[in-house]
Amino acid sequence: MNKTVGEIGEFGLIERIKKIIPQADRKDIFCGIGDDTAIIKISPKKWLLATCDIQIEDVHFRLKHSTPRQLGSRAMAVNLSDIASMGGTPTYALVSMGLPPDFKVKQFDGIFKGMGDELNKYSALIIGGNLAHTSDKLVLDIFLMGEVSPDSILLRSSAQPGDRIFVTGQLGASAAGYHVLEKFEKNYPEEYRHFVEAHLQPTAKVEAGKQIAQSGYATAMIDLSDGIASDLRHICDSSGVGAEILEKGIPYPDKIDDIAKAVSKSKLDLSLHGGEDYELLFTMKPDTPSEIIEQIATETKTEVTEIGKVLTKEAGYTLVTADNNRQTLQPKGWDHFG
């Protein structure tokens, strides 16, 4: 056994950790290794959420593409999105940073301002962290805590056949923004600004997540970090169900055809597999009144779109194309070592 981590891949590594660090018999842990967010039962009425996300220069971001403030804001939003997907409220963050010695103090300040901007929306706060030096690349690792009431928590594992599938926002905008930046750098055409903003400054759907979780009709939720084809698959695998997505239902951003054409992909491909939209994907009971959906959309000023249905596991994992063909939905998972 002399394999590399690249060969075994992210999900293989997580399985190994689960074996080395067994936790099934711990009654204080509601959700441990393998989920995006850990859940600790600290008190009967309030559970603690904890998540982290490490971002490395030229792997997860490029300094030439964004201002330091955007970079900080984005790194925090990625973590906030994990808390949002549990229906939780963010509370406290710790920040670890590895910095090359020639990194500018002004940029350093900007990153912290950006992280603060995002947390301030929820009265959450950076309360500590750690600074170290690196030889050349910037490393930014955020640990974010949150809280949630045990009776409104939403997991990936409770979707049922017949449930309706919804997403917030639009799909594929961040992937399109990445391609716009790669092609035009900072001199992109104004008509593509919404793509660039979706990529550089996503907004975590914290309020929407809370309202969805508290609606009494939601059955499962996840945030869209890897693309809907992969993220819906996580819900299906955890819940032991299948699903179908309707191509006709996908909320495409304006002008995505332009970008799809320029990079020789279909807009469907960008939307299903693009990733990093940090929208919410959630399932609702079949009898959910339409007023409930409208209320969530209106009160949180969030677009909400129905895009498919939960099926039995036997019925498979399917995309229903615009011309009504059924094809297997391929989860081209974003394996971080792939």
Q: 75, 83, 86, 99: which one contacts its own copies (CB under 8 A)?
A: 99
Taking the complex as a whole, how short is the minimal distance between the CB of residue 100 and its own copies, in angstroms? 8
Taking the complex as a whole, how short is the minimal distance between the CB of residue 227 and its own copies, in angstroms? 17
Taking the complex as a whole, how short is the minimal distance between the CB of residue 59 and its own copies, in angstroms? 6
Taking the complex as a whole, how short is the minimal distance between the CB of residue 120 and its own copies, in angstroms? 9
Taking the complex as a whole, how short is the minimal distance between the CB of residue 32 and its own copies, in angstroms? 5
> CA-to-CA distance for 13 and 18, rounded, in angstroms?
9
Contact map string, positions 12 to 51, toward its own copies, x by CB under 8 A: -xx-xx--xx-x--x--x--xx-x-xx-x-xx----x-xx
The residues near 232 (Cβ < 8 Å, ≥ 6 apart) are 165, 222, 243, 245, 281, 329, 331
- Residue 30, classed as helix, strand or coil, is strand
Nearer to its own copies, 8 or 292 (CB): 8
Dihedral, CA atoms, 88, 94, 98, 103, nearest 10 degrees?
100
Selected range binding its own copies among 6-14, 158-166, 170-178, 294-302, rule: CB under 8 A: 6-14
Please say whether the beta carbons of 172 and 253 come within 8 A: yes
DSSP single-letter state for residue 201: S
- Give me 236's structure tokens: 């299906």
Residue 150 found at the interface with its own copies (CB under 8 A): no
Per CB under 8 A, which of residues 251..290 are in contact with its own copies? none
Nearer to its own copies, 38 or 196 (CB): 38
Backbone angles phi, psi at 213, to 5 degrees: -65, -35
Taking the complex as a whole, how short is the minimal distance between the CB of residue 336 and its own copies, in angstroms? 5
Q: 129, 161, 162, 316: which one contacts its own copies (CB under 8 A)?
A: 129
Q: 88, 98, 242, 331: which one contacts its own copies (CB under 8 A)?
A: 98
Strands (E), 255-313: 280-284, 304-312
Q: 8, 63, 246, 292: which one contacts its own copies (CB under 8 A)?
A: 8
Nearer to its own copies, 67 or 295 (CB): 67
Residues in the chain: 338
> CA-to-CA distance for 274 and 229, rounded, in angstroms?
9
Backbone angles phi, psi at 55, to 5 degrees: -120, 130
Taking the complex as a whole, how short is the minimal distance between the CB of residue 50 and its own copies, in angstroms? 6
Residue 4 found at the interface with its own copies (CB under 8 A): yes
Residue 191 found at the interface with its own copies (CB under 8 A): no
Please say whether the beta carbons of 155 and 30 come within 8 A: no
One-letter amino acid at 226 equals: D
Q: By C-alpha distance, which of 332, 334, 314, 238 is closest to 283?
A: 238
Selected range binding its own copies among 99-107, 203-211, 258-266, 303-311, rule: CB under 8 A: 99-107
- Give me 312's structure tokens: 């039995």
